[in-house]
Structure 1
Amino acid sequence: MSVICDTCGARLPEGAGMCELCGTSVDGVEHEASIVEDEIVDVSASASVFCTSCGRKNPAGANYCAKCGTELEQLDDFSSAKKETRNPKAKQAPRHQDRAAVSGSDSEVGKRIIVIVASALLVVVALYIISSMSSGRSGSDSATALPLDQVVEEPLAPQFASRQTELQDQMLGLSGDRLIALRRELVYLYFAAGRLDLAATESEFIATALQSEDEWSVVGNLYYDWMERKDISLRAPWARKAVGAYQEVLKLNPDNLDVRTDMAIAYMYDPQNSMMAIQETNTVLEADSLHMQANFNRGIMLMQIDRNTQAMEQFEKVKRIVGDVDDPVYQRAELLIARLNGESAAVSQ
C-alpha cells in the first residue's frame, strides 16, 4: 500500500522512510532532499540526427540517412519542430540527442534542440502541477487513468483506410525482411494520416522483431508525441506506453541517459507512478551529474513543490554546465531564477 507525503503529495512506495522528492520523512521530520554534488566544467552540446523514416541515428550535419537514404530534416527553430506531422518525411526528429562535446556549427544544432526540450518541459510541468498536485496532497487516488483499451480514437480517414487494408492483406503469411518492409510502409501511411498512435503500434511490432535500441526509441518517441496531443485527463495510458518502450531501450542499453531522462518526464503523466519521475531523474544525475536536461528537469520539479531555494541552486548549476551566457538554456535558467527571486521577495513582504 502506497503512502502519501504530507508535505508535497508525492505517492511513496510502501516502507519508504523518506520522500525522495521533497526530503520529508514519513515521521514528519524534514530532511534535505538529495541533490547530486555540483561540478563546474566547460561543457558544450551536440546533436545526432535521427532518420524520420527508419529511425537510424546519423552524425550531426548529415544530409541523408546512412541506412535508407532518406533526406534528413534539420531543426531550424522551435516553431518548425512543433508543426504537426503530415507525412513521414516531415516528422520532427526524435527528442533523443547525443550530448558529446563538439565545436563549430555542430554545437549550434545542439543548442536549438536543447531549446525545444527546455521549452516543452516547462509546458509539461506547468500542466502537471495544475492537474495532479492538488489531488496528491489530499491523499486521494481519484486521478485514475482510463485504461488504454477503453480509449476510443477516431477511425482512420477513408483516403488512408483503403491503403491500410491493402498493406495488411499483403502481410498475411509473410515473415522476415519482407514483413518488416511492409510494416514500415504502413508506419509511413499512419504518419501521413497524422495518426502517431497507430504509427507507434506498428513500430512496436518492428522493434519487437529487431530488438534494436533505436527502433524502441522511435516507438517511445511516437507514443510520447501522441500523448502530448491529448488533454491532460487522457494522457496517462499513452504515457505508460511511452514508458514501456523506453524501458525496452534501457534493457538493451541501461546507460542511455537521454532516454531515461525522457522516461522520467513521461512518468509525470501517470498518477499511479509519478514519483518515478524524480527517482529516474536522480538515477541519471547519479550517473552523470552534469547531464544538462536532467539538471534542468530537477529544478522544475523542485519549483513545483515550492522548494524555491533548492530550485534556484539547481538552475545556477545549469548555468555553470552550459557556461555560455548567450545560450538560450542559460538565459532560460536566469529567467527562472529571477522569477523565483521575485516570488521569494513577495512572500517576505
Structure 2
Amino acid sequence: MSVICDTCGARLPEGAGMCELCGTSVDGVEHEASIVEDEIVDVLDSASVFCTSCGRKNPAGANYCAKCGTELEQLDDFSSAKKKTRNPKAKQAPSHQDRAAVSGSDSEVGKRIIVIVASALLVVVALYIISSMSSGRSGSDSATALPLDQVVEEPLAPQFASRQTELQDRMLGLSGDRLIALRRELVDLYFAAGRLDLAATESEFIATALQSEDEWSVVGNLYYDWMERKDISLRAPWARKAVGAYQEVLKLNPDNLDVRTDMAIAYMYDPQNSMMAIQETNTVLEADSLHMQANFNRGIMLMQIDRNTQAMEQFEKVKRIVGDVDDPVYQRAELLIARLNGESAAVSQ
C-alpha cells in the first residue's frame, strides 16, 4: 500500500521512510540530505510561430516552416533557451561536420543546457510531478499518454519529399559506410525541413550501427528538442525516446553526468517514470556536487515546494559555481534570488 507525503503530497512506495521529493520522513521529520532536485519547464513552448510567406502555423521553436520551408522569424525572446540541434541558414542543409560538433562542445544541443539562460525567460513548473502524484493520477496519466506508434505527425513538406524518396531509393541494397553516408544526407535533409523527429529516427539507425557515445547523444538530443516543441500533454512519447537514447549513452559511459542530467529532465515528461527525474538528478549530484545544471535544477525544485530559504542558498551556490557575473546562468540565479527575497518580504508584511 502506498503512502502519501503530508508535506508535498507525493505518493511514496510502501515501506518508504522518507519522501524522495521533499525530504520529509513519514513521521514528519525532514532530512536535509535528500531534498529534491530538478526540472525547468518552459511554459511558453505551447506558443506558435506563423510563417510570413505562406501563413502556416508552426510549433514554437520551429526554425523552418513545415509547409514551404521558409526560415521562421522568432518574434519574441521567450523561445526555449535550450540550444537547438541546428541553426542552419535558410534552405541550406547543414554539413555533417556541424552535426558532429553537436555532441562535443558548448554548442551542443541537450548537453549542459537544461538550465534556463535567457534573461527574458519565464521559468517553471516542477509542480507537474507534485500535482500528478498528489492527486493520485499516476495511472490515469500514463493511460492517456499515447504510445509512440500512435502518435501521428504531419508528412514531410512536399518540397523535401522528392529528395527523401531519392535518398531512400539509393539506400536499397547498401550496407556499411556507404549506407551510413546516405543516412547522414537524409538527416541533413530533415534538419533543413525542420523535422527533428525524422532526423532523430534516421540518426538512431546510425547510432545503432556505430555504437558511439556521441552518435547516441545526438539521437537523444534530437528527440529531446522535438519533445520541447510539443505541448506538455503530448511530450511523453518523445520523452521516452530521448530517455532510451540517453540510456544507450550511459551504457557506453556511465560517468557522462551531462547526459544523465538531460535524461533526468526528459523523465519529468513521462508520467510512468516521473520520479526517476529526482533519482537521476540525485545521482548526478552525488557524483559531482558542483554540477552547475543539476544544482540550478535543484534550486528550482526547492522554490516550487516553497522552501525559499533553501532555494536562495542553492542559487547562491550556483553563482559561486559559475563565478562570472556576466554569465546568463549567474544572472538568472540572481533574478530568482531577488524574486524569492521579494516573496519573503511580502509574506513577512
What TM-score results when the alignment is normalised by the length of structure 1? 0.73
Q: In the alignment, what sits opposite 1:137?
A: 137
| TM superposition shift of 1:25 | 2.5
Q: Any conservation in 2 of the 1:217–1:249 contact (CA below 8 Å)?
A: yes
The separation in 1 between residues aligned to 2:330 and 2:182, in whole angstroms, is: 45
* Residues 6 and 68 of structure 1, relative CA distance in 2, 3 Å threshold: same
* Residues 159 and 107 of structure 1, relative CA distance in 2, 3 Å threshold: closer
Secondary structure of 2:110 counterpart = helix
Secondary structure of 2:168 counterpart = helix
The separation in 2 between residues aligned to 1:37 and 1:141, in whole angstroms, is: 22
Larger displacement relative to structure 2 (20-29 or 44-53): 44-53
Any unmatched runs of 5+ in structure 1?
none
Q: Any conservation in 2 of the 1:46–1:111 contact (CA below 8 Å)?
A: no
The separation in 2 between residues aligned to 1:315 and 1:179, in whole angstroms, is: 48
| TM superposition shift of 1:306 | 1.6
Larger displacement relative to structure 2 (252-261 or 25-34): 25-34
CA-to-partner distance for each residue in 1:210-252, whole Å, 9 max, x for gaps? Answer: 0000000000110010001101110111111111111111111
Q: Any conservation in 1 of the 2:118–2:328 contact (CA below 8 Å)?
A: no
Larger displacement relative to structure 2 (21-30 or 219-228): 21-30
| TM superposition shift of 1:255 | 0.8
Q: In the alignment, what sits opposite 1:176?
A: 176
The separation in 2 between residues aligned to 1:51 and 1:252, in whole angstroms, is: 41
Larger displacement relative to structure 2 (139-148 or 237-246): 139-148
**Residue-pair matches, total:** 349
Larger displacement relative to structure 2 (298-307 or 118-127): 118-127
Larger displacement relative to structure 2 (253-262 or 168-177): 168-177
Larger displacement relative to structure 2 (43-52 or 98-107): 43-52
Larger displacement relative to structure 2 (104-113 or 152-161): 104-113
The separation in 1 between residues aligned to 2:24 and 2:334, in whole angstroms, is: 28
Q: Which structure shows the higher helix fraction?
A: 1
Larger displacement relative to structure 2 (48-57 or 265-274): 48-57
| TM superposition shift of 1:15 | 3.9
CA-to-partner distance for each residue in 1:110-159, whole Å, 9 max, x for gaps? Answer: 99979765779964646947985774699975774121111111111122
Larger displacement relative to structure 2 (11-20 or 55-64): 55-64
Larger displacement relative to structure 2 (140-149 or 324-333): 140-149
Structure with the greater relative contact order (CA < 8 A, sep ≥ 6): 1 or 2? 2
| TM superposition shift of 1:312 | 1.2
Any unmatched runs of 5+ in structure 2?
none
The separation in 2 between residues aligned to 1:281 and 1:228, in whole angstroms, is: 19
Secondary structure of 1:294 counterpart = helix
| TM superposition shift of 1:46 | 32
| TM superposition shift of 1:338 | 1.6
The separation in 2 between residues aligned to 1:99 and 1:210, in whole angstroms, is: 16
CA-to-partner distance for each residue in 1:81-110, whole Å, 9 max, x for gaps? Answer: 779888857799999999999999999999
Secondary structure of 1:70 counterpart = coil
Secondary structure of 2:34 counterpart = coil
The separation in 2 between residues aligned to 1:50 and 1:11, in whole angstroms, is: 41
| TM superposition shift of 1:34 | 2.2
The separation in 2 between residues aligned to 1:206 and 1:55, in whole angstroms, is: 35
The separation in 1 between residues aligned to 2:95 and 2:16, in whole angstroms, is: 33
CA-to-partner distance for each residue in 1:311-333, whole Å, 9 max, x for gaps? Answer: 11111111121223333322221
| TM superposition shift of 1:16 | 2.8
Identical-residue share of aligned pairs (%): 98
The separation in 2 between residues aligned to 1:237 and 1:340, in whole angstroms, is: 34
Secondary structure of 1:37 counterpart = coil
Q: Any conservation in 2 of the 1:191–1:199 contact (CA below 8 Å)?
A: yes
Q: Any conservation in 2 of the 1:44–1:322 contact (CA below 8 Å)?
A: no
Secondary structure of 1:106 counterpart = coil
Secondary structure of 1:62 counterpart = coil
| TM superposition shift of 1:336 | 0.9
CA-to-partner distance for each residue in 1:263-292, whole Å, 9 max, x for gaps? Answer: 111111112211111211111111111111
